[in-house]
Amino acid sequence: MSCNKILKQTGHRLTPQRRLILDLIHDAHTHVGAEEIFDYVQARAPGVNKSTIYRTLKLLEQMGCVFKSEHDDRIIYHHAEEGHHHHLICRSCGKSYECEEALFSPVQRAIEEKYGFWVEFRHMVLSGLCSECRGRK
């Protein structure tokens, strides 16, 4: 279901600010940081303040339109239509690998069995060292 329909069904409008944010996140085809979003919106709608952008991002996340993750003390977003996917990012060279969601299924089951807790692995960003950088150290 499109974000526009989701917003309408929940009594929210697709305001120009929301449209700008969604367009950027959707068209980027990569993860976009909150500061990048702010700069993008400010360049197109200078009157929009940071608090409006952060409230919009929070609403879009709550509605399931975008996913939020943290990487290197930075909040990043990606469009939910891209589906659940996970990344391994080398903290030395910055290389990024997309990994299958199925890799997390055993962890998800183990947590549920041990703690009775269902983890929602929507978008994981894990840092470590790639094989090339590990070989150099």
Give me the domains of the chain, ranges plus CATH numbers. Answer: 3-82 (1.10.10.10), 86-136 (3.30.1490.190)
Of 43, 67, 73, 39, residue with least CA distance to 123? 67
Helix axis angle, 50-62 to 34-44, nearest 10°: 120
What gap in Å lies between CA 125 and CA 35, rounded to an integer?
A: 19
Helix (H, G, I), strand (E, B) or coil at 24: helix
pLDDT in tens, the chain (137 residues): 678 888 888 999 888 889 899 889 888 877 788 889 999 999 999 989 999 999 999 999 888 888 887 767 778 787 776 555 677 888 888 887 878 778 888 999 999 999 999 987 766 778 889 999 998 86
Write down the pLDDT at residue 117.
96
pLDDT of 84: 59
